[in-house]
Structure 1
Amino acid sequence: MDIKRDILWRVYLSFILMIALGAVVIGRAFFIQHIDGDFWKKKGDSLHLRYMPMDAERGTIYSEDGNMLSTSIPIFDVYVDFGADGLREKNGKRFKDNVDSLSIYLARLFKDKTSAAYKKEMQLAYKNKDRYYTLKKKISFVEYAQLREFPLVKQGRNKSGFIIDPRDKRINPYLLLANRTIGLSRENATKNVGIEQSYDSVLKGKTGQRLMRYIAGGYMPVEGAELEPENGKDIITTLDTYMQDVAENALMKMMVGNNSLHGTAIVMETATGKIKAIANLGKQTDGTYAEDLNYGIGKATEPGSIFKLATLLSLLEDKYVTNNSLVDCEGGMKQFYGLRIHDTHPNQVLTVKEAFAASSNVAFAKMADQYYHTQPSKFIEHLHHLRLDTITGIDITASSGKPLIKKPSNRSWANTTIPFMAHGYEELVTPLHMLMLYNAVANDGKMMKPYLVNAVREYGADIKTIHPQVLVEKICSAETLVQLKECLSAVVDSVHGTGHKILFDSAYAISGKTGTAVTALNNKGYNKGNKIYQASFIGYFPSSQPKYTMAVVIQNSKESKLVYGADVSGTVFKEISDRIYGRFLSSKKFITPSADTTQYNYYGMKNEWSSIFSTLKLPYKDSATGGYWRSTSIKNNTAVLNTPVYTTTASAIIPAVIGMGLKDAVYLMENKGLKVTATGRGRVLSQSLAAGTTFKKGQVITLFLN
């Protein structure tokens, strides 16, 4: 009996405990649901909801003449929520009724897969109830506009499940044009360059926020829960697209034709310091040229003879010499403390002005050594006053552009330092440093700070304007300035001036200085076989009332046929200055000649010419035999078609395309097996590979358009 009672007691106790535990569970569930319910709902949402950043629309970078140099265009990512209520209602009738036609439209628009493939993928995603299915990424606005009118999509987000996620893509509409200076806006802002980097905080605007819900392995936006971003501001640069285009083309033509390694051309507005154009080209491993580094601002090198202007200024300012002082060049060769300095051409006794015009290394090394050997700090102080040892202050970052001017306290200072510095060695400066000096001479002694940005603009109104800034009010006395200008004019005007042959024959006067610096190939030293030449010309025009100052510095290669400053950089300078003068400075107006007295020559396909002449009712005669291509001459309202040179010969012969439009030229070249790159606009002005020569299939040819 006692055993039975003991067992029952234990059963009752267990039963009571189970009832108590159940009551606790029910009570706790009631408490969580009705009393702590709001807290746990918020907690659950916090695990599935997240605010994610929405990038602002990045500001546009404009040229001074109003053209877009870098801008953002909208691109769209397309997702589908196959769990959308409107899409699945009535057992998915809306989806099933539209999937066939939608698949056909998608295949036609994107042309990346068949309609059957699109249908199969969407049916599978529908079956799996994918909540954030990626249909297509990075579609253009034109494609997006068409997509909105497709079956199912046009019924709206709730019924179709289609989610459009817009974002921006950065482009440079002019491609190569000032590409390195403008820079590229990348996803990782630390890798930006140029203006895109320096003005990133202004351009990028203020980031917004979007509430995203985590569903089925991905986040999808919660409609209406957005904090709109604040768009970035626009940048108005000092660049002029015409000058920039001219500078790029002239530099490219010389570098391709002369097989140069890299080069830069910078155009500065004399009175203000505005950079109106800056072209930078470097040779790539495949033989083409691209803006791979800002050589004008970011690369300091030994300047060579263009540095003689700084030496001359020092000597004149200290009253050691005048332009009429005589200096014995000793036949163009002299030993300085065991090291030899020589001239390109033998010179005897010259005036200082003549020595500068003839670019005598011996003369300037002798004068600097004579007057500054025992007082080198005096010479260095002049260079410091000219800011040749100070960063330029231009408003973009150029990490490698720091100058190096030796001081007597440097460990590498030697007896030979002064004579070598005097003619452009044992110091490192950027082309922009030297341009600032030459511009100061052109600007009556006032050194201006170079700058690339005119204004910051928001919604069409300037909110910040950058004004010209004077760095040095007077680089030298008025007397010295007059003599400097005389010497710079003599380089071009004097029969014995190093720039006379290339630059003298102009409709306007040019003043400047040539430079040919010996540089080491791949840092292997200056031994014969390893040395290459850096060609420079820096000057201003028109000489009497300078409007623009320009620096052209080109690093040649061992294969370059032209090496001297005048032949290489002087030629580029002349082409750019001619175009700028004709467009902006010349008072003479171009008069179109009468069509009846002038012969015009064009190139194109035979059938196209026939169509044109028939439409114009212009009589013509086809004197060619066979082939599709014709050269056309028109005179006195009569046209004659001829067989162009090298267009119907063997397949391994390079055709002549000068005078053709780009479409025809590319068609003809690529049919031959050549790879074509082109620069400029209009008709073909020149081609990098000569017509009539042989080539290998896949070889690159560059076409220059005018």
Structure 2
Amino acid sequence: MDVKKDILWRVYLCLIGMALFGVAILVKVFYIQNVKGNYWRNMADSLHTGYVALDAERGTIYSEEGRMLSTSIPYFDIRIDFAADGLRDKKGKVFRENLDSLSLCLSQMFGDRSKAGYAQMLQEGYKTKDRYFLLKRNVPFNQYQQMRAFPMFRLGKNKGGMIAESKSKRINPFKLLANRTIGLPRENSQSVGLERTYNEYLKGVTGKRLMRRIAGGTYVPVEGYDIEPENGRDIVTTLDVNMQDIVETALMNMMVQNEAAHGTCILMEVKTGKIKAIANLGRQPDGSYWEDMNYALQVGEPGSTFKLATVISVLEDKFATMNTMVNMDGGRWQVGRRTVFDSEPHPGPQNVTIKHAFELSSNVAMAKLAVQHYGRQPNKFVAHLKRLRMDQNTGIDLVGEGHPVIKTTSSKTWSNTSLPWMAFGYEVLISPLQTCMLYNAVANNGKMMKPYLVNSVQEYGQVVKQFEPTVLLDSICSNSTLKQVQAMLEGVAIDGTARKLRNPYYNFAAKTGTALVANGSRGYADKIYQSSFAGYFPANDPQYTCVVVIKNKPHALRFYGANVAGPVFREVADKLYAIAVEKQKPMQANVQLDTLLALKNGKGGEWKQILNTLQMPINGTIAGNSWVSPSVSNRKVTFQSLTQAKGAVPNVTGMGLKDALYLLENAGLRVVIKGAGKVKTQSLPGGTKIGTEQTIVIELS
């Protein structure tokens, strides 16, 4: 019996112990979940880390003379770490002593809150010990610089708690000028222009930053774990800002005067194919104009400017010369059930030379020539058009160029009227840029150049990829044909449709065009005309080719090519010619870059200060008290020490004038300076022994 009681006592004791242990577990669970719940949830959050992308600084797009066309400017999100040691020490002494003055500075800078409002906001952040408190978004660089000197913030991140997150915003400093051609990188839609074509060079290499999640799902950066991004490279275009302004202004003036729907003006350098300016303006719903589409690349029926291809074909096949006679039939000719009309009446003799018919822009004459010589072999005419590359894209370095359409007898829409209508620019589709390329070939003595927009890709001012002019055709026709079509184009400005646009100081060669354009299902009822003007100047020594195409509003009172597109051409040509005369040199803008980074030899300490300020990557170290020569290697700036022996001429090649003078004059030399820039040559080679009262000449460029 005693044994049984002893066993039961022990069993009960175990049960009581287990019950108490279970109760203790339940109490602990309740305590952890409800009393310490927030603490442990915050601890769990703090263990979550992950990498986020760090965008590289996008490269800058420059004009040929070195002006920024598209660049990135820094903006900052300003946050405060209210758990920073410096703000919590001594019961928040730093925070309390600086609260009023900081609130006043913030209120005066941003003006969106009173001093008391900012003080209350900062106190709330301090009470919650927010480690990532958002103070202000999208602060520009100049304000960010001022904020760094504000009370509390000037103590640094650890003591003052200020956190600045940098981000970039892309801008076009010249706004409207060539806006569509330059383009902008867009996050939520497709980019356009050069920003899209050269994105691989411009965007750089994305970096990484380790972020840790804290309370409230907010992430803060973990210091020491960043993988720095590699900045993008710069693009130097062929565009000239002054020429672009001239072209854009001339086109805008006419668009506003005529309330036109849209238009384009292209300026190409004859010898190289460089696009010096390209304007594309479209009418907006409010009546204003903006660069909304690249109309220079869109295909359409070119109208009478296409007649140049027709006369090249006829003359090249030796079917006629420019003095062969053709009858214009009063500007009206029946072909089957359709009638060819001339856009302008031609009083006087109807039997005229092909040259004069071209000068008067007779559709009838061109249609007759095509039917007479190619009626039985239309594809022979088409073959000429293909040889002139009318059926191919120009290959310009822009995405989105429309594909041209040149019919053949095997085309589904070919009819017995296709050939005569093609002869004066209908039933074919080409872009204004293709027209420009053809006229430029005539100006360039038959050599067809590929149009292009970028000269080079650069990194820290050094060329990493150079783009050279590309010849597409060595000769578009024989020399005999070329001389005749050049005379015919010059005749348009002397005795033809563009004679009222003549300038007494120089001659130009051109062709006018006026084409009736269909308006969707309404057909040609709205009388919408496309006005064109294509040519080059000066005629005796062509420097630039210019093409203007403007689509007018319905029932416009003024619509002839010579009256709408012609004045734009004339204004551009006049201003560029005046600039050339003033400078008394050929009309070419080969101005040396002045805003790109130039790597010059100099003092190591100064270079170190510059690179640290610009936050540029350095390969190796720089001796502060030595003279160094910089170069770019693996996307970083590398330096090589320059030794300057005593009693010998210093080697100052590649240095700026200030540093060169310092070294040379300290060496006891008299210095004669020629030019500006950095030292290109020196009359006494580096290392030469210095004589008494010796003079050295340095040439800068």
The aligned amino acid for 1:500 is R
- The Cα offsets for residues 493-513 of structure 1, whole Å up to 9 and x where unpaired, read as 11xx001012x2341110010
8 Å contact from structure 2 (residues 181, 278) kept in 1 = yes
The aligned amino acid for 2:70 is S
User: In structure 1, what is the equivalent of residue 480 of structure 2?
Assistant: 479
User: In structure 1, what is the equivalent of residue 144 of structure 2?
Assistant: 144
- CA drift of 1:488 comes to 0.4
* Aligned partner of residue 59 in structure 2, secondary structure: coil
Tell me, which stretches of 5 or more residues in structure 1 are unaligned?
23-42, 590-706
* Aligned partner of residue 512 in structure 1, secondary structure: strand
In structure 2, distance between residues paired with 1:46 and 1:296 = 56
- CA drift of 1:45 comes to 9.1
Query: Once structures 1 and 2 are overlaid, which stretch shifts more, 367-376 or 459-468?
Result: 367-376
User: In structure 2, what is the equivalent of residue 55 of structure 1?
Assistant: 55
Pairing partner for 1:384 from 386, 390, 398: 386
In structure 2, distance between residues paired with 1:493 and 1:420 = 27
8 Å contact from structure 2 (residues 331, 341) kept in 1 = yes
CA spacing shift, 1:587–1:508, aligned 2, 3 Å: farther
- CA drift of 1:559 comes to 5.9
In structure 1, distance between residues paired with 2:498 and 2:295 = 23
State TM-score, norm by structure 2: 0.77
CA spacing shift, 1:145–1:20, aligned 2, 3 Å: closer
What is the root-mean-square deviation of aligned Cα atoms in Å?
2.4
Pairing partner for 2:515 from 501, 517, 522: 517
User: In structure 2, what is the equivalent of residue 154 of structure 1?
Assistant: 154
* Aligned partner of residue 223 in structure 2, secondary structure: strand
User: In structure 2, what is the equivalent of residue 255 of structure 1?
Assistant: 255
8 Å contact from structure 2 (residues 80, 134) kept in 1 = yes
In structure 2, distance between residues paired with 1:515 and 1:207 = 50
CA spacing shift, 1:320–1:492, aligned 2, 3 Å: same
In structure 2, distance between residues paired with 1:486 and 1:80 = 74
- CA drift of 1:524 comes to 2.1
- CA drift of 1:585 comes to 5.1
Query: Once structures 1 and 2 are overlaid, which stretch shifts more, 303-312 or 80-89?
Result: 80-89
The aligned amino acid for 1:553 is V
User: In structure 2, what is the equivalent of residue 635 of structure 1?
Assistant: none
- CA drift of 1:406 comes to 1.5
Pairing partner for 2:563 from 540, 545, 567: 567
1:556 and 2:552 correspond: yes
- The Cα offsets for residues 148-181 of structure 1, whole Å up to 9 and x where unpaired, read as 1111111111112110011211111111111110
- CA drift of 1:342 comes to 0.8
The aligned amino acid for 2:126 is Y
Query: Once structures 1 and 2 are overlaid, which stretch shifts more, 5-14 or 448-457?
Result: 5-14
User: In structure 2, what is the equivalent of residue 327 of structure 1?
Assistant: 326
- CA drift of 1:89 comes to 2.2
Pairing partner for 1:368 from 348, 358, 370: 370
User: In structure 2, what is the equivalent of residue 617 of structure 1?
Assistant: none
User: In structure 2, what is the equivalent of residue 95 of structure 1?
Assistant: 95
In structure 2, distance between residues paired with 1:15 and 1:201 = 75
State TM-score, norm by structure 1: 0.77
Tell me, which stretches of 5 or more residues in structure 2 are unaligned?
24-42, 586-701
CA spacing shift, 1:420–1:19, aligned 2, 3 Å: same
- CA drift of 1:122 comes to 1.5
User: In structure 1, what is the equivalent of residue 466 of structure 2?
Assistant: 465
* Aligned partner of residue 412 in structure 1, secondary structure: coil
* Aligned partner of residue 548 in structure 2, secondary structure: strand
8 Å contact from structure 2 (residues 183, 194) kept in 1 = yes
- CA drift of 1:453 comes to 0.1
8 Å contact from structure 2 (residues 47, 212) kept in 1 = no
Query: Once structures 1 and 2 are overlaid, which stretch shifts more, 368-377 or 249-258?
Result: 368-377
- The Cα offsets for residues 248-290 of structure 1, whole Å up to 9 and x where unpaired, read as 1111111111111111111000010000000111110011110
- CA drift of 1:398 comes to 1.8
- CA drift of 1:19 comes to 12
In structure 2, distance between residues paired with 1:136 and 1:485 = 64
8 Å contact from structure 1 (residues 515, 564) kept in 2 = yes
- CA drift of 1:469 comes to 0.3
In structure 1, distance between residues paired with 2:552 and 2:532 = 11
- The Cα offsets for residues 520-564 of structure 1, whole Å up to 9 and x where unpaired, read as 23552012xx12111110000111111111101111112643211
Q: How does 1:563-602 map to 2 (within 5 A)?
A: 563-584=559-580
* Aligned partner of residue 226 in structure 1, secondary structure: coil
* Aligned partner of residue 168 in structure 2, secondary structure: strand
User: In structure 1, what is the equivalent of residue 185 of structure 2?
Assistant: 185
In structure 1, distance between residues paired with 2:17 and 2:557 = 107
* Aligned partner of residue 175 in structure 1, secondary structure: coil
- CA drift of 1:75 comes to 1.1
The aligned amino acid for 2:381 is F
- CA drift of 1:126 comes to 1.7
8 Å contact from structure 1 (residues 326, 351) kept in 2 = yes
Taking only the aligned residue pairs, the percentage that are identical comes to 52
The aligned amino acid for 1:353 is K
8 Å contact from structure 1 (residues 50, 212) kept in 2 = yes
* Aligned partner of residue 306 in structure 1, secondary structure: helix
8 Å contact from structure 1 (residues 259, 559) kept in 2 = no
* Aligned partner of residue 134 in structure 1, secondary structure: strand
User: In structure 1, what is the equivalent of residue 604 of structure 2?
Assistant: none
- CA drift of 1:141 comes to 1.1
* Aligned partner of residue 579 in structure 1, secondary structure: helix
In structure 2, distance between residues paired with 1:164 and 1:270 = 50
The aligned amino acid for 1:565 is G
In structure 1, distance between residues paired with 2:248 and 2:397 = 21
User: In structure 2, what is the equivalent of residue 393 of structure 1?
Assistant: 395
CA spacing shift, 1:308–1:219, aligned 2, 3 Å: same
User: In structure 1, what is the equivalent of residue 438 of structure 2?
Assistant: 437
- The Cα offsets for residues 8-40 of structure 1, whole Å up to 9 and x where unpaired, read as 464466589899999xxxxxxxxxxxxxxxxxx
In structure 1, distance between residues paired with 2:97 and 2:46 = 38
User: In structure 1, what is the equivalent of residue 126 of structure 2?
Assistant: 126
In structure 1, distance between residues paired with 2:157 and 2:582 = 61
Number of positions where the alignment pairs a residue of Structure 1 with one of Structure 2: 564
Q: How does 1:125-524 map to 2 (within 5 A)?
A: 125-188=125-188, 191-216=190-215, 217-297=217-297, 299-343=298-342, 344-346=344-346, 348-399=350-401, 401-494=402-495, 497-502=496-501, 504-522=502-520, 524=522
